[in-house]
Amino acid sequence: MKKAAKRTATALCLVLFGASEAAAQHAYPAQGQSPSKQAEDQAECDRWATQQTGYDPARPPPVAMATPAPVTGSGARARGAAAGAVIGGVSGGDAGSGAVAGAAVGGLARRGANRRAADAQNQAAAQQAQSTQASFDRARAACLSGRGYSVR
């Protein structure tokens, strides 16, 4: 459980860190532009980059974090119980104890699979958000470069 929470928190931090990338982008007025002209150009390039990419760093889209699906109703426990009963009966042991153990193992296996699926969805959402932010940064840099700024 703690590992899943750590992975989810890490993905969320990556998304939130990505939102500050535009602020980390620096533009040097290579053609001697005044500070007021630079502010005007940066604002226009921000608007243009937002139009081109659909991403606004002032209002980043919310990142929906997936949660693991419940084990109830998946049939994993029933399948585990059936397998445990068969193994318990074949091995000469108690089929009832085997069924209980099988149900527990089936539930644990399903819970782990659900957690991995939710983690994969969260990672994909974080990567999508980072990709959109990077696209905005490239568009903004292209605009500023076209206006005579050195952008890093």
Q: Evaluate if pTM is beyond 0.85.
A: no
Give residue 15's pLDDT. 44
Give residue 116's pLDDT. 82
Give residue 38's pLDDT. 96
What does the pLDDT look like over 81-99, one tens digit per residue?
556 555 555 555 655 655 5
Q: What is the 3-state secondary structure (H, E, C) of the chain?
A: CHHHHHHHHHHHHHHHHHCCHHHHCCEEECCCCCHHHHHHHHHHHHHHHHHHHCCCCCCCCCCCCCCCCCCCCCCHHHHHHHHHHHHHHHCCCCHHHHHHHHHHHHHHHHHHHHHHHHHHHHHHHHHHHHHHHHHHHHHHHHHHHHCCEEEC
Give residue 148's pLDDT. 96
Domain range for 118 is 2-151
Give residue 123's pLDDT. 86
Tokens read off for 77: 């426990």
pLDDT beneath 70, residues of the chain: 1-23, 64, 66, 68-110
What does the pLDDT look like over 9-25, one tens digit per residue?
554 444 444 444 445 79
- Count up the domains in the chain and report the number: 1
